Amino acid sequence: MAIPFITASTLVAAACALPFASTTHSEVATVPIPKSVCNLPTVRSLIVWHRAPGVEDSAEVVDESDLSNCRPMLDTLRGPGLGPSGPGYCSKVAWGSDNPGYVVNVSPAAPLKKVIDEVGDC
């Protein structure tokens, strides 16, 4: 038994429109935003300081946890993750709480106190 093309097209179009039919506000459910599967703390911050040939020293603030990889940021920053290690390059990391009043995003960036880790020609 063959179904005419017009009838088949009408049935498909009607079926596709069903999910888009309007509903009253009370029938619409809201879904809560899922919490991150990574439960690492994000309370403390780290300051990452960089020196490179031909540019002024710079610093940036990062969270204590690398939530995209679900591991402590210090693990992400170990070794080459902290920065280049060639001649003239130096990168250091310290806790923000160990450097009260430290101002980032100024050039040149001030040296860090109580450095946790460093890589390069420091």
Q: What is the pLDDT of residues 46-58, one digit of tens each?
A: 999 999 999 999 9
In the chain, the number of structural domains is 1
Residue 97 in domain: yes
Residue 32 in domain: no
Residue 3 in domain: no
Residue 7: pLDDT above 80?
A: no
Q: What is the pLDDT of residues 14-32, one digit of tens each?
A: 555 545 455 555 555 666 6
Question: What CA–CA distance (Å, rounded) separates 87 from 53?
Answer: 8
What domain range is 63 assigned to?
Answer: 45-120
Instruction: Name which of 97, 87, 121, 94 is nearest 109 in CA terms.
Output: 94
Banded pLDDT at 85 (limits 50, 70, 90): confident
Residue 26 in domain: no
Banded pLDDT at 78 (limits 50, 70, 90): confident
pLDDT above 70 covers a percentage of the chain that reads: 70
Residue 5 in domain: no
Question: What CA–CA distance (Å, rounded) separates 84 from 66?
Answer: 20
Residue 106: pLDDT above 50?
A: yes
Instruction: Name which of 103, 101, 82 is nearest 93 in CA terms.
Output: 82
pLDDT for res 22: 54
Assigned token pair, 119: 């890589």
pLDDT for res 92: 95
Assigned token pair, 74: 């210090």
Residue 89: pLDDT above 50?
A: yes
pLDDT for res 82: 87
Backbone angles phi and psi of 48, in degrees to 5: -110, 120
Residue 90 in domain: yes
Residue 95 in domain: yes
The pTM assigned to this predicted structure is 0.66
